[in-house]
């Protein structure tokens, strides 16, 4: 099925996605702890500015301000009854900016994690997760989002629930996970394992990849992991603008526009086709990334050494995709002693 996202992707070698939502909104005066999604109704000018800044900086695709727009997250602000309204509003504002841009810009309806741990370890059942994501997806669809954009997921179960919800809503979707723990997601998923899981889904995403995580270097190591796992789907790279640093009561990300420009070009050389930023990525970063992608020639796939040379070291020595990385260490502990668990 053809849609705006696949059409644009078919015309271009790479697409520039957007940068940070939270970091930008906090700069516009969002108080920490407040739900950004409420601004889709209460401070529409600011959300329009957020979207416009990304588009004017050269983004081909931007995410709606709906990351925490599921019932479980909104409940913390007693706004769980406004899921449809807030998501629809967030997408409508996006539609308005995209349609006025004078070029083809994709409105990607952001869907973040529920924040709950899924059964059997946690309380969130598969059915409930699907229902929550579906509710949000319908809101984004009604507001005119071109594609659902599931992001910052840690648990494979949650990713699968989002896929099912997208199918129920009849929406094309993309989905990224956050690899922030020794090169894996918090729940231990490696890049290779994610690639395998994604390719087995019934309702496959149009593209998949990684966002957020630790720094730009780690994110590219993850992208290389997807490529090595023979991904058939286009790969998304949305890394943070460096690492957060604390200065005089404020936090800022240490990644400069020049670093993010290098990151963008390296991401393309690694094999990513949809390239953007995440936390700390401001319009000036996006401008530098766009310029670099347009003016610098594609190069060969970089080695891990080349990545660390350009962007800094990794947060962990390995990321679980190395030979035997997924099994060796555990097996050493449990070999010959484990009982009943396999029975």
| CB nearer another protein, residue 202 or residue 339 | 339
Tokens of 306: 């080349």
Strands (DSSP E) found in 90-162: 106-111, 147-153
| CB nearer another protein, residue 92 or residue 218 | 218
**Distance from C-alpha of 252 to C-alpha of 290, rounded to nearest angstrom:** 22
Sort residue 182 into left (φ over 0), alpha (ψ -120 to 50) or beta: left
Q: Yes or no: say if 210 and 175 are a contact pair by the CB < 8 Å rule.
A: no
| CB nearer another protein, residue 169 or residue 212 | 212
| CB nearer another protein, residue 154 or residue 274 | 154
- Binding-site residue positions for Zn(2+): 212, 278-279
Least CB distance to another protein at residue 23 (A): 8
Contact footprint for another protein (CB under 8 A): 22-23, 26, 31-34, 73, 76, 115, 117, 121-122, 154, 180-184, 186-188, 243-246, 249-251, 253, 279, 316, 318, 320, 329-330, 333-334, 336-343
Q: Yes or no: say if 108 and 61 are a contact pair by the CB < 8 Å rule.
A: yes
Least CB distance to another protein at residue 45 (A): 21
| CB nearer another protein, residue 14 or residue 159 | 159
Least CB distance to another protein at residue 271 (A): 25
| CB nearer another protein, residue 154 or residue 176 | 154
Tokens of 263: 């990151």
Least CB distance to another protein at residue 322 (A): 12
Count Cα atoms within 13 angstroms, Cβ side, for 232: 8
Least CB distance to another protein at residue 14 (A): 28
Least CB distance to another protein at residue 210 (A): 15
| CB nearer another protein, residue 129 or residue 292 | 129
Least CB distance to another protein at residue 158 (A): 12
Taking CA atoms, 54 is separated from 31, 58, 211, 304, 305, in Å, by 21, 7, 17, 30, 31
In degrees, rounded to 5, the angle at the alpha carbon of residue 236 between the alpha carbons of residues 282 and 255 is 30
| CB nearer another protein, residue 18 or residue 180 | 180
283 DSSP β-pair partners: none
- Binding-site residue positions: 212, 278-279
- Residue bearing tokens 């308005």: 96
In degrees, rounded to 5, the angle at the alpha carbon of residue 277 between the alpha carbons of residues 180 and 297 is 115
User: What's the full length of the chain, in residues?
Assistant: 343
Instruction: Kindly report the number of other CB atoms within 10 A of residue 38's CB atom.
Output: 17
107 DSSP β-pair partners: 62
Least CB distance to another protein at residue 20 (A): 10
- Residue bearing tokens 């529409």: 44
How many separate helices (H) and strands (E) can be counted in the chain?
Answer: 14, 10
Tokens of 317: 């020595």
């Amino acid at each position: 099925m053809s849609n705006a996202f696949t059409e644009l992707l078919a015309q271009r070698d790479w697409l520039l996605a957007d940068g940070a939502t939270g970091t930008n909104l906090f700069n516009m005066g969002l108080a920490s702890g407040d739900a950004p999604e409420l601004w889709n109704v209460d401070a529409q000018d600011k959300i329009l500015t957020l979207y416009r800044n990304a588009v004017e900086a050269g983004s081909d695709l931007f995410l709606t301000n709906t990351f925490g727009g599921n019932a479980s997250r909104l409940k913390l602000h007693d706004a769980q009854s406004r899921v449809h309204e807030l998501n629809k509003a967030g997408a409508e504002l996006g539609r308005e900016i995209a349609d006025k841009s004078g070029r083809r810009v994709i409105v990607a309806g952001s869907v973040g994690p529920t924040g709950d741990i899924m059964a059997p370890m946690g309380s969130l059942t598969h059915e409930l997760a699907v229902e929550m994501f579906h509710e949000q997806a319908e809101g984004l669809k009604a507001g005119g989002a071109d594609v659902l954009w599931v992001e910052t997921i840690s648990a494979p179960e949650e990713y699968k629930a989002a896929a099912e919800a997208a199918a129920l809503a009849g929406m094309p979707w993309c989905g990224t996970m956050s690899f922030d723990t020794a090169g894996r997601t918090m729940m231990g998923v490696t890049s290779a394992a994610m690639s395998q899981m994604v390719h087995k889904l019934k309702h496959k995403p149009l593209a998949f990849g990684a966002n957020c995580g630790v720094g730009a270097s780690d994110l590219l190591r993850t992208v290389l992991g997807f490529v090595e796992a023979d991904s058939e789907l286009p790969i998304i790279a949305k890394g943070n603008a460096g690492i957060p640093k604390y200065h005089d009561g404020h936090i800022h990300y240490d990644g400069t526009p020049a670093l993010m420009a290098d990151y963008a070009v390296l991401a393309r050389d690694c094999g990513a086709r949809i390239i953007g930023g995440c936390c700390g990525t401001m319009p000036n970063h996006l401008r530098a990334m766009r310029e670099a992608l347009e003016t610098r020639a594609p190069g060969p796939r970089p080695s891990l050494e080349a990545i660390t040379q350009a962007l800094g070291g990794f947060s962990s020595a390995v990321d679980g995709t190395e030979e035997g990385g997924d099994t060796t260490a555990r097996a050493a502990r449990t070999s010959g002693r484990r009982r009943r668990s396999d029975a």
